[in-house]
Structure 1
Amino acid sequence: GRTRNVGGAVRLVSCKTGYGLGSLLGKVRSLAEERNNCDVYVVGAANAGKSTLINQILDRNDERKLAYRLGKKKLKRRAGNANARKGDVTVSPLPGTTLKFIKVDLGNGIDLYDTPGLLVPGTLTQRLTPAELKLVVPKKEVEPVTFRVASGKCVL
């Protein structure tokens, strides 16, 4: 098959800090406007961070007081997630959390869609049962620890 360039340059972003988000949104908006305000879909593997990216976009839209809507009803706060705000897209370390397309209004007639993750064959999350996933997925942020190991010693 023949491919065509549909977006141009890669944009580096951090969903944790918001770094690069302005550049990404600017490119998304300009591409959508060039195509008569076409819809934009966030697509990728399960647990790649699509919903986290959408929440960063919602935060930025809130700060700039842009209206957004999520289908006909607002999303509810995820149970047990103290950092979640009303209207956030649900985020979870378990694959399959986003079950349907979720529409976010970017303004100017441009809609952005959060999509369910693609299941990639052969990945660890595909090989484990839901019960096994719950055992191995971290329940809170992991804090790094540094060990200084003397010559001839080891850490197991």
Structure 2
Amino acid sequence: MNRVCIGCGSRLQSLDISREGYVSESKIKTSDYCERCYKIKHYGEFSVLKDKIDFENVITKINNDSSATVVFLIDLLNVNTESVEYIKKFKNNKFILLTRRDLLPKSIKDKKLIEYFKTNFYDTNNIMIVSSVKKQNIDEFLLEVKKQNISKIYIAGLTNSGKSTFINALLESIGKIPTVTTSALPNTTANFIKIEFDETLTIVDTPGFVLNNSIYNYLNYDEVKKLTPKKEIKVKTFQIKPTETVIVGNFFRVDY
């Protein structure tokens, strides 16, 4: 019987440590997680896999499941037109979730954020703001799913949009133990992960889409953690004079 990692969805194997799903032969019949997910979950260690994800194939598989709904997550700190291009590729019923609300100043109203997104990026009535960390609108989202009689949802989005964290928040909301691997570094989900949420709803986690020009492509695990906010962003003003430069770590600089 083929077993899969409950953290990333990869088929467990003990032949090649550099490929997805690797676990030592002594643990392959008992472990729920591959070695990579286990190290991410317990030690914060991350390793890069040889296997490349075919994202067009991911989209095709989802589109072939025409009765399902795509829930597309967009990080409010990383709203861009390339995300919208991915949204447009899905033929299914779509639901947009703007995530990581807890990182933006409370002075910014949710209604204003939604209006800005609909006006400048993608106009839809199926849109909601959520915070998986603060559990904001998690129950409201589930109520909307029930209201629309949705029985299967694919969780999609760019890498680091908070997909796995959102799924774990959904599981916690009904008292289930979170199982999907979460990490600050992109692409911890390597394959489809099917989760029977309850008697009426199936959730499928999918690999995060990667942007070719994303800064994450050039950073290691520690650097990504430094750049990833963990609490509400506070606005700060810096005044610089001619010939002065503001340097932010070893990431970028701002010249006068």
Q: Settle same-fold status: TM greater than 0.5.
A: yes
User: Deviations for 1:62-119, whole angstroms, at most 9, x for unmatched residues?
Assistant: 1xxxxx7xxxxxxxxxxxxxxxxx5421100111111111122222332011111011
CA distance in 2, matches of 1:60, 1:26: 12
* Amino acid aligned to 2:166: L
Structure 1 unaligned segments of length 5 or more: list them.
63-67, 69-85
Which structure ranks higher in relative contact order (CA pairs < 8 Å, sequence separation ≥ 6)? 1
How far has the Cα of 1:41 moved from its partner?
A: 0.4
CA distance in 2, matches of 1:92, 1:114: 15
CA distance in 2, matches of 1:146, 1:52: 26
Matched, 1:106 2:223: no
When normalised by structure 1's length, the TM-score is: 0.62
Percentage identity across paired residues of the two chains: 26
CA distance in 1, matches of 2:200, 2:237: 56
When normalised by structure 2's length, the TM-score is: 0.40
The match for 1:95 among 177, 186, 193 is 186
> Over aligned residues, Cα RMSD in angstroms?
3.4
- Kindly indicate whether the alpha-carbon contact (under 8 Å) linking 1:104 and 1:112 is maintained by their aligned counterparts in 2: yes
* Amino acid aligned to 2:147: S
Matched, 1:125 2:211: no
Tell me which residue corresponds to 2:167. 54
CA distance in 2, matches of 1:108, 1:134: 38
CA distance in 2, matches of 1:4, 1:102: 19
Structure 1 residues 147, 20: CA separation in 2 closer, same or farther (over 3 Å shift)? closer
Structure 1 residues 104, 122: CA separation in 2 closer, same or farther (over 3 Å shift)? same
Tell me which residue corresponds to 1:134. 221
Deviates more, 1:14-23 or 1:132-141: 132-141
| Structure holding more strand per residue | 2
- Kindly indicate whether the alpha-carbon contact (under 8 Å) linking 1:11 and 1:23 is maintained by their aligned counterparts in 2: no
CA distance in 1, matches of 2:199, 2:169: 19
User: Deviations for 1:28-64, whole angstroms, at most 9, x for unmatched residues?
Assistant: 2333x2x6x3x210100001000000010010021xx
Tell me which residue corresponds to 1:81. none
CA distance in 1, matches of 2:139, 2:171: 12
